[in-house]
A and B are shown apart, each in its own frame.
Chain A
Amino acid sequence: MPTEPGTGGTERFVPPRIDGGREVLPLASRKPLAVVGMVILSVYILLAAVGPFFVADPVATDPANALLPPSLDHLMGTDNFGRDVFARAVHSARLDLTLGVVIAICAMVIGSAIGVVAGYWGGAIDEALMRLTDIVLAFPGFVLALILVAVLGNSTLNVGIAVTAAFVPYFIRLTRAQALSERELEYVDGAKLAGNRSGRVAFIHVLPNSLQPSLVTATLVAGWAILTVSGLAFLGVGIKPPTAEWGVMVSEGARDIDAGHWWTSLFPGGMIVLASMAFHFIGDEFGGREA
């Protein structure tokens, strides 16, 4: 419904207020979950950015203090090598968040570039690209990433490449669908008439206008990428011990749980889920509901 003044829209036009941070309040009341997500994410970013300077060495072992329950000295207890679980979780925040965000951005950039090519030019290129996308989408993303790391070899870079590849098809589809409708709009004819070559029209004019759904999805993908990376690490694929990584920590801690030492696995696992939730709250509120 249009809300411009004087057009007879049913909603009253409210000019945006920019006085002293009050514009945050409408967002908080309209999209409370997004704000919750942003707050959680801010805490994580703070932890990832400055946390590692304040906590203990994440790989320093101390067998005398192994498997201590959570206390003021060790907020999340110690694992069976006597390493501080909180210190490891904080170091891992830096690794996992960076991977999640970088993977989401790379997948969006690559996927939307391919998608705009398919959607804007259409024809045989489109048909070929979409068939290929269908094939890749026949594999669950996790399985695809797993097999790629298995072949490429265990390294953080290869995990990044594999998980990115698994998410690229989603962005191809989204951007293609958007570009298909964008190319019929008048500004595209205008850009062509102004003498732009078709490559320029596609990438400079159509692509930016086709990105909106991808931006929402990218937020969700950042959360899923963290789940995928830590899930692979849990299976011993990609990032390996003794690296401080949430999935590695859960995998190592899972062995202690039957003796009642729950903190070594449940805390890092909770960090994963909370981080992923923060991204989902934001993406969900900004239009990802039907995704």
Chain B
Amino acid sequence: MWTYLGRRLLVSVVTVAGIVVVVFFIMRVLPGDAAAVRAGPYASEEKLEQIREQFGLSDPVPVQFVNYVTDAVTGDLGTSIRTGGEVTEELLIRLPASLELAFYAVLLAVLAGVPVGVAAAARRDTWLDRAARVVAVLGSSMAFFWLGLILTFVFFFKLGWFPGPVGRLGITTQPPETITGFFTIDAALVGDWGLVWEAFTYLALPAVTVGFVLSAPIIKIVRSSMIETLDSEYVRTARAVGVPGRQVLFRDGFRNALVPVTTAIGIIFGYMLGGNIIVELIFAWPGVGRYAYEALRVNDLEALQGFVIVVGLLYIVLNVVIDFVYSWIDPRIKLGQKVVA
């Protein structure tokens, strides 16, 4: 197991190095004048020259590369042109907001997607299965910005059930003291239940927007892996010896279907860690996605570059974690071996 852990970490380190190199390639080597992008369309030649000096863009590419890697390894992702702050620090401040939204969105997607997928598999080729399929297609072809606008329009402007898209809390509300960075948890830890409730009301619409889209792949994977286990010989045996249908479905079917489902949930969560730029923009959510958007608007390439590297890193880290959760759910899997079902 430990050799496997070592090998897995080594591959991850190689991938992380690859991410750093690919981002450098995109940012500095691709055609397109990085200085011109930074300076804006009306910059003079002197201004361009000054920017090239300031960001070391006039150095030979190998020198730029060495400087860039040295900085990246020490966790220095540069300085934002827009705010003048350290990119690493600014991203870390905004990360909890994105993580909280991602967590509740994935939670909603699992709570909704798993039962629908199980039901569709148990009632295969009935109207219920077809309805689940239509929902899954709708989710995977949904545009975040459209769903977000509709939900805001209906549940805020028309019905007034949820607060408007102004961020994590009302404008006049004091956020809880930072412990975990999750407002819902921090407020609960200090016993301020009114604040917990408020945080949830602000979370509701963005989390539903993201959660609906994420439920689509979960429905599909739960359905197909449930069908696979329900068609297997041990389930047939269980049925043949007279185990009640419900028990077969949940004890034999569902538990064995969990492995691919966990992987899928992990991958989906991994992609969500970097925040969702569109949803964070629509709901004024102060996360890393929103930071990337602000950076994009003023061509703050350092900040954008930092954002992309962090997104890639989080994804790789989570993938290693999933591997270990895997072996915990399914005792048949010794790490490093493929399961033979």
Interface residues of A (CB under 8 A from B): 33, 131-132, 134-136, 138-140, 142-143, 146-148, 150-153, 220, 223, 227, 230-231, 234-237, 247, 250-251, 254, 257-258, 260, 262, 265-266, 269-270, 272-273, 276-277, 279-281, 284, 289-291
Measured CA separation A110–B283 after assembly (Å): 37
CB–CB B311/A140 < 8 A: yes
CA distance A265 to B153 in the complex (A): 11
Q: With A151-B34, A231-B144, A276-B141 as known contacts, state yes or no: A257 contacts B149, CB within 8 Å.
A: yes
Cβ-closest chain B residue relative to A269: B146
Besides A257-B152, A273-B138, 7 other CB < 8 A contacts? A131-B14, A131-B18, A135-B15, A146-B277, A231-B145, A266-B146, A289-B220
What's the least CB distance linking B25 to chain A, in Å? Answer: 10
> Which residues of B does A touch, CB under 8 Å?
14-15, 18-19, 22-23, 26-27, 30-32, 34, 37, 130, 133-134, 136-138, 140-146, 149-150, 152-153, 157, 220-221, 224, 271, 274, 277-278, 281-282, 292-293, 296-297, 299, 301, 304-305, 307-308, 311-312, 315-316
In the complex the two chains form, is B297's CB within 8 Å of A236's CB? yes
CB pair B30–A151 under 8 Å, yes or no, is yes
Please, which residue of chain B has its CB at the minimum distance from the CB of A250?
Answer: B145
Which residues of A have CB within 8 Å of B312?
135, 138-139
CB contacts (< 8 Å) of B143 on chain A: these are 227, 230-231, 250, 269, 272-273, 276
- Taking a contact as CB atoms under 8 Å apart, the answer to whether B296 and A140 are in contact is no
Q: Which residue in B19, B130, B221 is a CB contact (below 8 Å) of A135?
A: B19
Jot down 8 A-B pairs with beta carbons below 8 A, ordered by A.
A147-B304, A150-B296, A227-B141, A257-B152, A266-B150, A276-B141, A276-B143, A284-B136
CB-CB under 8 A from A235, the residues of chain B are 277-278, 281, 293, 296
Q: Would A139 and B311 count as touching, CB distance under 8 A?
A: yes
Q: Which among B22, B140, B282 is the interface contact of A136 at CB below 8 angstroms? A: B22
| Minimum distance in angstroms from A218 CB to a CB of chain B | 15
Q: Which residues of A contact B150 (CB under 8 A)?
A: 266, 269
- Known contacts A150-B299, A151-B34, A258-B157; A140 and B274 CB within 8 A of each other: yes
Given A150-B304, A152-B31, residue A273 in contact with residue B141 (CB < 8 A): yes
- A194→B32 CA distance, assembly (Å): 48
Closest to B220 in A: A289
B152 touches A234 (CB 8 A): no
Report if A139-B153 is in contact (Cβ < 8 Å); known contacts: A33-B134, A280-B137, A290-B220: no
Distance to closest chain B CB from A210 (angstroms): 22
A220 neighbours in B (Cβ, 8 Å): 140
Q: Is the CB of B301 within 8 A of A138?
A: no
Q: Which 4 A-B pairs have the closest CB atoms?
A: A269-B146, A276-B141, A135-B18, A277-B141
Let me know if A234 and B145 touch, CB within 8 A: yes
CB distance from A123 to the nearest CB of B (A): 18
